[in-house]
Amino acid sequence: MIFADNVDQPPLLRRPIVFIPALALLFLALLRADPANWPLLRGVLAAAGLGGVLGNGLAAAAVCVLVGANAYVLLRLPVRWQVAMVWVELTLALAALFVSFDLSYAFIRRKLWILVSIGLVNTLLISAVSIVLAFILAMAGAVAKLSQNGVALGVANFYTSLFRGVPLLMQIYIIYLGLPQIGVVVDAIPAGVAALSLCYGAYMTEIFRGGIESIPRGQWEAARALGLSPGQTLRQVILPQAMGVIIPPTGNQFIAMLKDSSLVSVVGVWELMYLARTQGQSEFRHIEMMLTASMIYWIFSILLELGQARIERFFGRAHAR
Amino acid sequence: MPGETSPAPVEIRALGKWYGAFKALDGVNLVLSRGERLVICGPSGSGKSTLIRTVNALESFQEGEIFVEGVRLTRAPETVKAIRLSVGMVFQQFNLFPHLTVLENCALPLRLVRRLPGAAAAERAMAYLEKVRIPEQAAKHPAQLSGGQQQRVAIARALAMEPKLMLFDEPTSALDPEMVKEVLDTLLALAGEGMTMAVVTHEMGFAREFADRVLFMDGGRIIEAAAPTQFFSDPQQARTRAFLRQVLRRD
């Protein structure tokens, strides 16, 4: 959280200059919208004998009052409750959107096991292996970039430049389709893992380098004066502290990688996105499969976020004052 | 002299160092003898910190020679390691490892460098924390300690490696005034045990009480070196007198 001042700034939504135009815009938008979109409200109004323009206006006004009342209640809750309420309301809104798609839940139920047992397992496998390899590559890349050795520096520079500069999709194609040209035949899953690790390792190299450079020189000097070797200094003194700087952006990378692993589907790996596309095709139930796969990605991203928060707390403890 | 039966802890001959075109050290000659307590003072930028940091290879130099315990300092890893093992150093900013507890700060180098098993390392680390009178803080992290306590931990960490001499680079300059005394008292206690010590400091009252010899540096050169009684009562050089007028006005 931003370091709080001891001043009660009025929340944005409580300022008339914000909420009056916002409600006015909402009212106008609802007035122009088709009341058929709100069957429940229309039914109530029709039962009361109110239709046409007057009915529309009343319906729009009713929604505006509901939205206003919701905001009024929300602004008076403690912060934790506000967060929880917002999550509940936005989740319901998202669910309402999905319900309006008229999905076949029977189809989802029938296909869910295939998506999870093969697709999700492969997605998690590919992501987990790639994350570990990317971590190792990034560590090596960062150390090379910080070294005085021109060869190591050159290799690391070239590597990060190439793999950050070329689309991940192309990297997958090149490794899967290009390498056989020189006699190296790679299976689809190893090719995907290689491309993901190389690409994310290149991004994470910069994160690791920044983390290592953020540690004050005095830490290096103290370790050296005590006789620690360069490797001991890095492993025991510098990296444990740099982790506090490295973890938050690395967690971001992991979440992004989980979803970028779907690109591996282009070479026919039976991961989550591939199965979602192919399973939906048989009965033209694309939306069902895509939404299900998306929700599975989201759930696992949330799990990664929670894991990241735990690790951040673990590495942040030394700096607590 | 190097090569003789008992070499001086530190011998520096015609030492010269440049930062680009700026000459930070200029023809410095210095012999530190066993058990000697040397104080180095001088205005900021005079090269006093640079001088003691060249002794354990935290700074490079271009001219002259340094011998530590008779070993000539080169850039060879084994030589540098041997010299760093015989030299303990305490920094202005303490430079404790913030991710480790106080005890782990002292025990880590014992395990990694002296190859002591964990229990023996912890035991020796604890003994040195008792020596600087803060064993009760052993389980805390450095950030939970006052500046004076942190600096005493840094002294214990260096001493636990059992070096043959100790270098102090402005050990009280980053401290609040009320914490300076506890650190200087620790240095005085150490001096009482015969440790060879070189201290860069602006604390002239301490220098008078502590030192066998006071060195005044300016412009990368040693301007004057004398026993404290003579140094403070009858300085020979005009620059020394000007410097002392400046700093003693504060005391």
Which one, of B160, B179, B23, lies nearest residue B85 by Cα?
B160
Query: How distant is the Cα of A210 from the closest Cα of chain B, in angstroms?
Result: 18
Q: Of the candidates A99, A129, A156, which is a domain's last residue?
A: A99
DSSP output for A95-119: HHHHHTT---HHHHHHHHHHIIIII
Residues A89 and A148 both lie in one domain: no
* Single-letter residue type at B123: E
A228/B113 CB distance under 8 A: yes
Provide the CATH number for the domain around residue A171. 1.10.3720.10
**Residues A201 and A255 placed together within one structural domain of the fold:** yes
The count of structural domains within chain A is: 2
Closest-CA distance of chain B to residue A262, Å: 38
* Best residue of B86, B97, B157, B164 to probe chain A, by most A CBs closer than 10 Å: B97
* A111 and A84 within one domain: no
User: Residue A284, by phi and psi: left (phi above 0), alpha (psi -120 to 50) or beta?
Assistant: left
> What residue has token string 């430049």?
A161
Of B56, B100, B143, the CB nearest to A319: B143
Q: Which positions ≥6 away from A242 have C-beta within 8 Å?
A: A208, A211, A212, A214, A215
Measured distance CA(B83)–CA(B66) in Å, rounded? 11
Give SS3 for B23. strand
Of A172-181, B116-125, B132-141, minimum mean pLDDT range: A172-181
**Domain range for A188:** 105-319
Taking Cα atoms as reference points, which of B89, B35, B2, B42 lies closest to residue B216? B42
Q: Which helix (H) or strand (E) holds B82?
A: helix B77-86
Q: What is the pLDDT of residue A100?
A: 81
Q: What is the pLDDT at residue A9?
A: 79
Q: Please tell me whether residues A186 and A86 are part of one structural domain.
A: no
Could you tell me where the DSSP H helices lie in chain A? 16-32, 39-47, 52-75, 79-99, 105-114, 121-146, 150-165, 168-173, 188-213, 217-225, 230-232, 239-260, 272-281, 286-316
State whether A85 and A115 are in the same domain.
no
Collapsing DSSP to helix, strand or coil, B24 comes out as strand
Can you read off the two tokens belonging to residue A19? 């909420």
Contacts of residue A228 in chain B, CB cutoff 8 Å?
109, 112-113
Among residues A99, A132, A158, the one where a domain terminates is A99
Contact B58/A225, CB-based, under 8 Å?
A: yes
Query: B112, A236: Cβ pair inside 8 Å?
Result: yes
pLDDT of the residue at B18: 94
pLDDT tens series, chain A, 321 aa = 578 788 887 788 888 888 899 999 988 888 777 666 666 666 777 777 666 677 778 888 888 898 899 989 998 899 899 999 999 999 999 998 888 888 888 888 888 888 888 889 999 999 999 999 999 999 999 999 998 899 999 999 999 999 999 999 999 999 999 888 898 888 889 999 999 999 999 999 999 999 999 999 999 999 999 999 999 999 999 999 998 889 888 888 999 999 999 998 888 888 888 888 888 888 888 888 899 999 999 999 999 999 888 888 887 654 543
Q: CB A319 to CB B98 under 8 A?
A: yes
Contacts of B61 (CB under 8 A, 6+ apart): B15, B16, B17, B25, B54
CB–CB contact B84 A224 (8 Å): yes
> What pLDDT, on a 0 to 100 scale, did the predictor assign at position A98?
87
B79-100 per-residue burial string, b: 16 or more CB within 10 A, e: under 16: ebebbbbbbbbbbbbbbbbbbb
Greatest distance between any 2 Cα atoms in chain B: 56
Report pLDDT for A186.
86
DSSP B14: E
The alpha carbon of residue A181 and the mean position of all alpha carbons in its chain are separated, in whole angstroms, by: 36
**What chain A residue is nearest to B159 in terms of C-alpha separation?**
A226
- Assess whether A76 and A140 both reside in one domain: no
| Mutation site, B90, B93, B95, interface A, largest A CB count within 10 A | B95
Radius of gyration of chain B (CA): 18
The SS3 of residue A76 is coil
From B80's Cα to the closest Cα of chain A, the distance in A is: 9
Q: Are residues A131 and A260 in the same domain?
A: yes
Query: How many residues belong to chain B?
Result: 251
**pLDDT exceeds cutoff 60 at B2:** no
How close, in Å, is residue B196 to chain A by CA atoms? 17
Helices and strands, number each (H, E), in chain B: 9, 10
- B56 → closest Cβ in A223, A225, A228: A225
| Residue among B83, B199, B176, B174 nearest B186 (CA) | B199
Domain-terminating residue out of A44, A69, A99: A99
